[in-house]
Structures are given as C-alpha cells and as structure tokens.
Amino acid sequence: MTTPRVPLPRTFHAFGNRDYRFLWPSNFLTYSTRWMQMTLLAWFVLETADSPFLVGLVGFFSMIPMFFLGMIGGVLADALDRKQVLRITQTATFLALVTITSLMALDLALYWYAYPVVMVTGTAWALDMPSRRSLIHDLLGSRGVTNAVALDSMGMSASMMIGPAVAGGLIRTIGVTGGLAVVTAVVAVSIALVSMLESGLSRPARPDGGILRNLAQGVRYVAGHSALRTMIMITVLANLLLFPYMHMIPVVARDVLGVGPGLMGLLQAAPGLGSLTGAVGIASLHRVTHHGRILLGGTLAAFAGLLLFSQSTTYALSLPILLAMGVGLSGFGSMQSAMTMLLSTNEMRGKALGVVSLAIGSGPFGALLVGYLADRYSPSFAIGAVAVAGFILVSLIGASMPAIRARTA
C-alpha cells in the first residue's frame, strides 16, 4: 500500500519540482555567502583603515561588475547551458575566497586586498544572476514563476538576515579569517548542489549576431515596453539611493550607535527578517494581478524606513526601523524579477534580465556617493540625504507613469 502524497501548502508549491529543491538551497547559500563576505570584509577594512569612504569602496568594487557585465550575463543566459554558467562562476568565487583567506591566515593581507576579492565575486554574481532566474522559469513555467520567484526572494531575504548575523558572530568568536574560511566551505556546498541539477535542463537557443547586437536588442526591447521601462527606472533609483545604506551599517553601528560586531551583525540582519516576512506574504497570495503596484509601494516604504533609520541614535530604535524597512524591500525584490519574466517573451527573457542587472549596476555609484557624504559630513546625513531624494523621485515616477500601476498582462 502506497502512502498518499500530502499536497504542499500554496506558499511552497514550487518545491514540488525536484530540481527546484536543489536550485533553491544553492541560490540561498549563494546569497548568504555574498552577505557574509561583504560584512566580514567591510569590518576588516573599517578596523584596518578606519575610513567610511574606504568601507564604501567595498560596496563599490563589489557592485561595479554588475554595471559592466550584468547585460552580458543576460546574453549568456540565452546562449549557454545555464547550469554550466553557475558552476563556473561559483568556482571563481571559491578560488577568490581561498586566496584572501590564505593571505589573512599568513598575516599578509592589507585592507585594499578586499577590493579585488569582491570584484571577482561581484563579477560572478553579475554573470550568473540572469541564469539563476531564467532557470526558475525553465523549471516552473509561467504559471509557477511568481510563486517560485517569491520563494527565491524569501531565500534572499533570509540570507540578508542570516548572513550578516552569522558574520558578526564569526568575527566575535573566530575572527575575520575564520569567518572567511567558513564562507569558503559554504560556497563549496553550493557548487555541489548545482551539480545535482539534471544536465541539459535548459536548452536556450543560441542568439543570432554578436554580444553587442544582443545587448542592444535587450535595451531596445525593455525601452519599448512601458511597464518594464518604468520598473527599470525604479530599479536604478533603488540601487543608486537605497541599497548603499548596507555598506554604512558597520560605520553607523560603531560610530553612531556605539556597538560592536555582534550587534552590528544583528542590525544588518534586521532588514532581512522584515523582507522574509513580506516575501512569505507575497508567496502565499492566491493570485497577483498588479505586480507593479506592489513594487512601487514596497520601494516607497523602504525609502521612508531608511529616512527614519538615518535619524535614529539608539540601537533599540534602529533595529525595529530596519525590520520594518525590510518588509518594503520584499515588495521591490519579488516583483522586480517576476515582472521581467512574466512580461518578456521566451527569446528575450534572458536579455531583459540582463537589462535588470545593468540597472542594478548603478549601485556602486551610490556607494561612492554615500561614502563621500559620510566622510565629509556624517553617516547619518549621507543616509538621510539619499533617502529623501529617492522617495521624491520614485513618487514622481509612480505618479507620472501609469503603466507601473496597471494590471500585469
């Protein structure tokens, strides 16, 4: 007698797919290790160089590959075996982490060694992210993609919570070097999970023409689609003015709130917990018909939370503010990719995701701006200034471009 299968709750419907059960934890570990290494290396630079601007450069060098290579990652997602793309980029990350960990263990590392390491891992992130998201559509199709992306966003949100918290604890217990050794081991596990995906899972058609032609096709396609074009504009502003706050949290924690690496890690984890809560809610929705409204509302809520955080001078107040801000971030993160995949044709999906990566690539310039303002004035002033600017600009886009508020076709 066979045991009847218990149906999965609606929230976790995508886990009914065998390969998604390997892809999701691989994605989660990839997101987590990115947060962990960023936290570890930012604290290393802060303790070694004692400069908010130099800490901000960790974010700049980590994200600048996305600006130059994000769209190429989209072309690769449409032209190559997506599983192989993930294996190659993860191996490059592994080797970079082995190198910096070894140098630190030998007491040979200088603060600026963090920059080439995060450039390598940032390059891997830029090149494999479109393939990761395209694989989700390969596995679940259009009917399951919103649920699967929301689950993936839950993993990303959980990594925002777990990664920095674990990194802060590792700094307190075994130091930055030991923490990087742990991160390296986790990356190895992620590579093993990718290897368990069925070979030949995705069979993208090779695009006609060269890379530049395909990049231009992606830009023209998104520019000609009103909803996607508006979403890209909001994505640029969010990455330019909202997300650079993350690189200043170690500075705010030490210099404004007066706490050490352990509580700093919890502070960085708070938006992840809020984002995880919001992502669970989105994944549980029976049907989402207005993806753009969730994206717009979530982005505005996150900017409002960031402004409140910039005005806080106590840890007990800053923690719940960042928690609430994370709920807004979940609306932005989930709907950004879901809109791109739902509104793009099969042959243009990878290229459209590449344009999203290009928009995300505006982040390093925001990191430079926030780092400069923090060095010249104060971290609180820098965060508050970009929060006000972002809220105003996104509000104007939402009011003047109705496509973002329309029903998702």
pLDDT tens for each residue of 200-244: 455 555 555 566 676 777 788 887 878 888 888 999 999 999 988
Ramachandran category for residue 141: left, alpha or beta (phi over 0 → left; psi -120 to 50 → alpha): left
Q: What is the pLDDT of residue 10?
A: 55
The stretch 378-405 carries a mean pLDDT of 91
Task: Report the mean per-residue pLDDT for the chain.
Answer: 83
Helix (H, G, I), strand (E, B) or coil at 218: helix
Extended beta strands in 259-356, E state = none
At residue 27 the predicted structure's pLDDT band, cuts being 50, 70 and 90, is confident
Q: What is the pLDDT of residue 200?
A: 47
Q: What is the pLDDT of residue 16?
A: 64
At residue 319 the predicted structure's pLDDT band, cuts being 50, 70 and 90, is very high
Q: What is the pLDDT of residue 4?
A: 42
**CB-count exposure of residue 106 (10 Å: 0-12, 13-18, 19+):** exposed
Q: What is the pLDDT of residue 330?
A: 84
Percentage of the chain lying above the pLDDT 90 cut? 27
Domain ranges of the chain: 14-197+209-405
Residue pLDDT, tens place only, 127-158:
887 778 777 777 776 666 667 777 777 777 78
Q: Tell me which residue has tokens 């559509």.
A: 137
Q: What is the pLDDT of residue 2?
A: 40
User: Measuring CA to CA, how many Å separate 198 from each of 14, 82, 194, 219?
Assistant: 17, 11, 9, 32
Residue 379 CA to residue 381 CA, distance in Å, equals: 6
At residue 25 the predicted structure's pLDDT band, cuts being 50, 70 and 90, is confident
**What ranges in 226-362 are assigned the alpha helix state H?**
226-237, 249-251, 261-283, 291-311, 315-343, 349-360
Of 44-58, 63-77, 221-235, 241-255, least confident by mean pLDDT is 63-77
170: nearest Cα among 359, 259, 37: 37
Q: Which two tokens stand for residue 313?
A: 């001078």
CATH topology of domain 14-197+209-405: Growth Hormone; Chain: A; (1.20.1250)
For 258-288, b/e burial (b = at least 16 CB within 10 A) is ebebbbbbbbbbbbbbbbbbbbbbbbeeeeb
The stretch 250-275 carries a mean pLDDT of 88
Residue pLDDT, tens place only, 290-318:
777 888 999 999 999 999 999 999 999 99
pLDDT over threshold 90, residue 181: yes
Residue pLDDT, tens place only, 97-134:
999 999 999 988 888 999 999 999 989 888 887 778 77
324: nearest Cα among 275, 392, 384, 264: 275
At residue 12 the predicted structure's pLDDT band, cuts being 50, 70 and 90, is low
98: nearest Cα among 196, 191, 197, 195: 191
Query: 291 and 338 in contact (C-beta within 8 Å)?
Result: yes
Q: Which two tokens stand for residue 380?
A: 């609180």
Residue pLDDT, tens place only, 329-378:
888 877 887 788 777 777 777 778 778 877 887 888 888 899 889 888 99
- Enter the pTM of the model: 0.74
For residue 9, give every residue at least 6 positions away whose Cβ sits within 8 Å of its Cβ, in sequence order, or none. Answer: none
